[in-house]
Chain A
Amino acid sequence: ETGVTQTPRHLVMGMTNKKSLKCEQHLGHNAMYWYKQSAKKPLELMFVYNFKEQTENNSVPSRFSPECPNSSHLFLHLHTLQPEDSALYLCASSQPGQGAEEQYFGPGTRLTVT
């Protein structure tokens, strides 16, 4: 595997379910990000991790809980979601300290909350 991978690619869950999204990067980067992409809206930053430490939480509701056990893996734990949380969730990584931080994106997880 190369680049940034995300699993699952598609997820349908009820509002009372608990599920997790997984992101893995094979690029040796030390910064990882979760973005939410909804129709007709700009990409919304959710969380940023630098060297496994959370450095930004963009006022995300507590029903979204991130976890970064190491620099290569990032999870987004979901519980008691709302239908408006249905969106494409994108993971990205970058290497801090190398000038312009080009971010590399995974293919996303298409989440549908029923």
Chain B
Amino acid sequence: EIVLTQSPATLSLSPGGRATLSCRASQSVSCCLGWYQQKPGQAPRLLIYDTDNRATGIPARFSGSGSGTDFTLTISRLEPEDFGVYYCQQGIHWPTFGQGTKVEIK
């Protein structure tokens, strides 16, 4: 099983700030990594797939990058609705998720 480790566990930022979330895989996942946002009481929502492709309807302030074992989700200017928990997920082998990074209002 591929283990995904996300950092930091919590990110405290102000609206308008820049968020940088990291995801490290225990082995190479090639390009097959995605990012999801989850808010309390809601299902995960796909933001990014295959490293750097925004899902339908996702604003341009969300961007993904990386390769191999190291990946990054960047939110360029945080909006109030962006606060929540973010998960990375690999799909090169049996799908697994990271443990999540909580983005909270500072």
Verify that A and B bind, or say they do not: no
